[in-house]
Structure 1
């Protein structure tokens, strides 16, 4: 599988290193990126992480914006200007910088959360609260979809062969 899935919690060691979960390391190896690309999440107190697949998503987003537009400048600054490339050691560990730890609120344990083409680094208690909120909101969206009353924020999937 070439996707980051599931979630794992590991502990920072005395030198500030954290082991990237083995399934995530395997995806990164297949992706071919040297190191780990990270940037603060745009909408959570977490850090987005990945390799070439994540960078391709960012490049795709930026390509849709006019080269000298304010929107492109803002996205470039937030996604590229605040990013870091962390070195992965032979044992699959990275040293989280003070900037990353402070942004995510990480002090001891770290939760890695798969999200397909990227994964996130969370402080475990914050992730648990986020997960509960996500489950609650997904249940609400599912009820809206099953009742046929979709909201503008929740597109109704179209079945194959449906007529316009």
Structure 2
């Protein structure tokens, strides 16, 4: 596997540690890292986490703006400034900071959701609500795309 995929439900132990699934750990290790990068998602009550690809995506996004521009500096501050490097222990567990847990409202359970180049960490009920909304949007988009194809197929000349 070369992408963060699947959804995993995890419990935080009595010390507040959470296991990172083995497939996710393998991707982090492939990058030569013993930690993962994690920051509060900018527009969601969730955490964004990952390894080298997450950082490369952030770098590419920030580099789209001219050096010293206000937008670039604000984006860099919001992302680089909020990233925490969270060490993986020998058993593949991490301890989220209180600030990260507060942003995502994580207490004793979390859901890790693969996004390809990174993954998100959610409080389970917030993830269920987000997933329901996302699925509704995808169904509407599918219907819209399907109706566009039908409109093209109904031409009188059959072309």
Give the structure-2-normalised TM-score. 0.91
Structure having the larger proportion of residues in helix: 2
Q: Can you list the C-alpha shifts for 1:36-94, whole angstroms capped at 9, x where unaligned?
A: 10011011100000011100011111111101111101110111111100010010000
Take 1:33 and 1:138, find their aligned partners in 2: how far apart are those partners? Answer: 35
Take 2:39 and 2:32, find their aligned partners in 1: how far apart are those partners? Answer: 19
| Structure 2 unaligned spans of 5+ | 150-159
* Partner residue, 1:18: 18
- Whichever of the two has the greater Rg, that structure is 2
CA contact (8 A) 1:32 1:51 kept: no
Q: 1:1-164 residue pairs with structure 2 within 5 A?
A: 1-148=1-148
SS in 2 for 1:74: helix
SS in 1 for 2:131: helix
| Structure 1 unaligned spans of 5+ | 150-164
SS in 1 for 2:39: strand
CA contact (8 A) 1:109 1:123 kept: yes
Q: Can you list the C-alpha shifts for 1:121-163, whole angstroms capped at 9, x where unaligned?
A: 10000001111111110000111111118xxxxxxxxxxxxxx
SS in 1 for 2:9: strand
Q: Which runs of 4+ in 1 moved over 6 A?
A: none
Take 1:42 and 1:31, find their aligned partners in 2: how far apart are those partners? Answer: 24
Question: Which stretch of the first structure deviates more once superposed, 70-79 or 121-130?
Answer: 70-79
SS in 1 for 2:2: coil
Give the structure-1-normalised TM-score. 0.88
